[in-house]
Amino acid sequence: MSEEGKRLAELAKRRGFFFPSASVYGGAAGFYTYGPQGASLKRNLEDAWRDRFVFREGHMELEGPDVMPEAVFEASGHLDGFDDMIVECPECGESHRADHLVEDATALEEVEALPLDEVQDLIADHDLTCPNCGTALAGEPVEQFNLMFATNIGPGSSSPGYLRPETAQGIFVEFPQLKEYARNQLPFGVAQIGKAYRNEISPRKSLIRVREFTQAELEHFVDPETDSPDLAPVEDVELTLYPASEQTDDDGEHVTMTVGEAVERGVVGNEWIAYYLGRAKTWFERIGVDMERFRYRQHLGGELAHYASECWDAEAELGGDWVEITGFGDRADYDLKKHAEHSGEDFSVFKQYDEPKVVEKPTVDPEMGYLGPEFGGTAGEIADALETLAEKNPQSFEGDEVTVELDDEAFTVPVEKTGFSVEEVKETGEHVTPQVIEPSFGVGRLVYTVVAHALERDEVDGEERTYLSLPPEMAPTTVGVFPLMDKDGLGERAHEVAADLREAGMAVTYDDSGAIGRRYRRQDEIGTPYCVTVDYDTLEDDTVTVRERDTTAQTRVPVDELSETLQELRDGDRSLDDA
Ligand code: GAP
């Protein structure tokens, strides 16, 4: 683990941000508990996400179940294709992610895009050994391992279910209902914040790779033919990009350009993705991601998920590694078409034309008096096949005979017996299966990044100090209230001040234990942006000391202006100097 990782894990546990779950029973790898500070920070992040990606975009939000029936994942492709590469140690039996072993030991990247036998060869070529016991792994089979957690729904085993590996499927399966709520009008977006579960082969790096985590996902359904985003609000946002072409070039490097330039130069191919890269960049800044340690990286061809056609990841630098914190994918119409195919329901939107259109419609009206005696029991199926062929390939009816195939057997019918004709019909609209643009945020990775990027060290009054320079909006606690001493009525007055601030909607901690300096340090370590001290002057003139976390600067504020002043400081509408 990196130095930063160790410092963070220690602080996160000691101060109640996050720590491995159920450790009294030895725990289970890949499961974490958010303590009081972490739960609060996580909720603030989720609220800020909802504010930006639901309310301000005018999207809807839903909350689906964590367990879903097998049919959902048969249709989505997760049952067959949601795999990672596993290699097992022949000596100690420990399982490892084969691609990660290769990446850790070589300069290779994105090894998961390689075929299994190549990864097996790389393990042998580089003499890789089991990280647990040191046994050679050369020759051990590299296999696919499905990451979904299976369960049974109800007693017995006849109704298999799975813990969802992404929240997205909970949105896709409800599309026939959701389109009604959107009055059948594209584009519209549906968001969901909720748990996702993956039985990761090797959970690691604290919250970065766990088996249960929160996702904040947005599925934006658009008409690929006619809808395009309004890029004006984001076109000047500057992005640090690492396109696929730079990654495969020996001298490749990050490139900086605005959203507008990225679209114009074709660096980002999909305008909707470009729009969300711009929106998200500003949002990442707002929540405290350090922009010096941030980039957008494009997926290489072999790395794309089974459903995606273009994808970019937001990556944060953590302990020397680049880590994906959010994916921006173009899922095209893959999921909706699959669910339509498997469920038989309508996953399209009827798009009304401004004016009805007259279109040519090829049809057939087969002579059953001919087909029946000629083809016997298959006559009905042949008639259906002729109808489908007329819709898809009317040119097949141009000769004297037409051939259809049923179960690899060809049946030839004289065209005059098919009743083929082309009619002119008026159409008022058409069925469109929307394209899906998906920004998918991992909330746990965001929590980790925001804390890691806020972790600062300096010296105050000759002593080393650790503090979290969190944006005030994200801080678990907004104000720490302290009585200088718990006597002479200072405690009572400080309790009153704290109660008033809570009443004004602020997250307040009351602390009267230990020296004032130690109380400041405790709040600094959890990122509390302001501390208020009630002292003897308060009893005289009803003012308190307000102290700011990062600068440690202090000023006196009248108690009756305190909540307004703190709110303005928190919202950036006032500085401590003004106060
Ligand atoms: N619906 C698309 C999707 O699930 P993904 O890239 O697999 O895409 C999206 O996941 C985000 O979820 C990632 O960017 C990451 O932040 C988070 N994530 C994925 N697997 C995770 C894991 N095992 N532990 C923690 N976060 C994870």
Q: What is the chain's pLDDT, residue by residue, as a tens digit (579 residues)?
A: 888 899 999 999 999 999 999 999 999 999 999 999 999 999 999 999 999 999 999 999 999 999 999 999 999 999 998 999 999 999 999 999 999 999 999 988 889 889 999 999 999 999 999 999 999 999 999 999 999 999 999 998 789 999 999 999 999 999 999 999 999 999 999 999 999 999 999 998 999 999 999 999 999 999 999 999 999 999 999 999 999 999 988 898 999 999 999 999 999 999 999 999 999 999 999 999 999 999 999 998 777 777 777 899 999 999 999 999 999 999 999 999 999 999 999 999 999 998 999 999 999 999 999 999 999 999 999 999 999 999 999 999 999 999 999 988 999 999 999 999 999 999 999 999 999 999 999 999 999 999 999 999 999 989 999 999 999 999 999 999 999 998 999 999 999 999 999 999 999 999 999 999 999 999 999 999 999 999 999 999 999 999 999 999 999 999 999 999 999 999 988 888 776
Q: Ligand 1: distance of its center to the CA of 442 in Å?
A: 5
Query: Which residue owns the Cα nearest ligand 1 atom 17?
Result: 442
Query: Which residue owns the Cα nearest ligand 1 atom 27?
Result: 442
Check residue 303 and give its pLDDT.
Answer: 77
Q: Ligand 1: distance of its center to the CA of 198 in Å?
A: 9
Buried b (16+ CB within 10 A) or exposed e, 197-230: bbbbbbbebbbbbbbbbbbbbbbbbbbbeebebe
**Closest ligand 1 atom, residue 442 Cα:** 16
Whole-angstrom Cα distance, residue 75 to residue 72? 5
Q: Ligand 1: distance of its center to the CA of 213 in Å?
A: 8
Determine if ligand 1 sits within 6 Å of the CB of residue 480: no
Determine if ligand 1 sits within 6 Å of the CB of residue 326: yes
- Among 31, 164, 166, say which to mutate for ligand 1: greatest number of ligand atoms within 8 Å of CB: 166
Cis peptide bond prior to 115, omega within 30° of 0: no
Please return the burial class of 166, using the count of CB atoms within 10 Å of its CB with bins 0-12, 13-18 and 19+: buried
Measure CA 170 to chain center: 14
Check residue 574 and give its pLDDT.
Answer: 87
Whole-angstrom Cα distance, residue 564 to residue 568? 6
Query: Which residue owns the Cα nearest ligand 1 atom 20?
Result: 209
- Among 445, 448, 449, 450, say which to mutate for ligand 1: greatest number of ligand atoms within 8 Å of CB: 445
Which of 44, 266, 71, 289 shows the shortest CA–CA distance to 159? 71
- Sort strands 238-242 and 421-432 into parallel, antiparallel or unpaired: unpaired
CB atoms within 10 A of CB 80: 12
Structure tokens at 253: 């490097």
Check residue 93 and give its pLDDT.
Answer: 93
Is residue 315 within 8 A of residue 367, CB to CB? The reply is no
Please return the burial class of 373, using the count of CB atoms within 10 Å of its CB with bins 0-12, 13-18 and 19+: exposed
Determine if ligand 1 sits within 6 Å of the CB of residue 168: yes
Maximum Cα interatomic distance, the chain, rounded to a whole number of Å: 110
Q: Ligand 1: distance of its center to the CA of 400 in Å?
A: 57
Determine if ligand 1 sits within 6 Å of the CB of residue 84: no
Q: Set out the domains of the chain in order of their start, with CATH numbers.
A: 3-82+147-334+437-443 (3.30.930.10), 351-428 (no CATH), 477-570 (3.40.50.800)
Determine if ligand 1 sits within 6 Å of the CB of residue 445: yes
Q: Ligand 1: distance of its center to the CA of 34 in Å?
A: 18
Whole-angstrom Cα distance, residue 518 to residue 356? 75
**Interhelix angle 36-50/443-454, nearest 10 degrees:** 110
Determine if ligand 1 sits within 6 Å of the CB of residue 327: yes
If you write DSSP's letter for every residue of 318-352 in order, what string do you get? ETTEEEEEEEEEEEETHHHHHHHHHH-----EEEE
**Closest ligand 1 atom, residue 203 Cα:** 23
Determine if ligand 1 sits within 6 Å of the CB of residue 512: no
Buried b (16+ CB within 10 A) or exposed e, 249-279: eeeeeebebbbbbbbeeebbebbbbbbbbbb
**Could you give the residue ranges of the DSSP H alpha helices within 65-131?**
70-76, 78-81, 98-105, 116-125
Structure tokens at 427: 């159409």
Residues in the chain: 579
Q: Ligand 1: distance of its center to the CA of 339 in Å?
A: 22
Whole-angstrom Cα distance, residue 380 to residue 389? 14
Check residue 2 and give its pLDDT.
Answer: 87
Check residue 250 and give its pLDDT.
Answer: 87
* Residue type present at position 251: D
Q: Ligand 1: distance of its center to the CA of 98 in Å?
A: 19
Query: Which residue owns the Cα nearest ligand 1 atom 6?
Result: 327
Q: Ligand 1: distance of its center to the CA of 153 in Å?
A: 25
pLDDT tens figures, 147-204: 999 999 999 878 999 999 999 999 999 999 999 999 999 999 999 999 999 999 999 8
Q: Ligand 1: distance of its center to the CA of 444 in Å?
A: 9
Structure pTM?
0.90
- Among 34, 82, 213, 303, say which to mutate for ligand 1: greatest number of ligand atoms within 8 Å of CB: 213
Is residue 20 within 8 A of residue 12, CB to CB? The reply is no
**Mapping DSSP to helix (H, G, I), strand (E, B) and coil, where does residue 49 land?**
helix
Q: Ligand 1: distance of its center to the CA of 266 in Å?
A: 27
Check residue 102 and give its pLDDT.
Answer: 95
Query: What residue has token string 């394209």?
Result: 435
Structure tokens at 149: 């957690």
Please return the burial class of 304, using the count of CB atoms within 10 Å of its CB with bins 0-12, 13-18 and 19+: middle
* Residue type present at position 439: P
Q: Ligand 1: distance of its center to the CA of 7 in Å?
A: 24
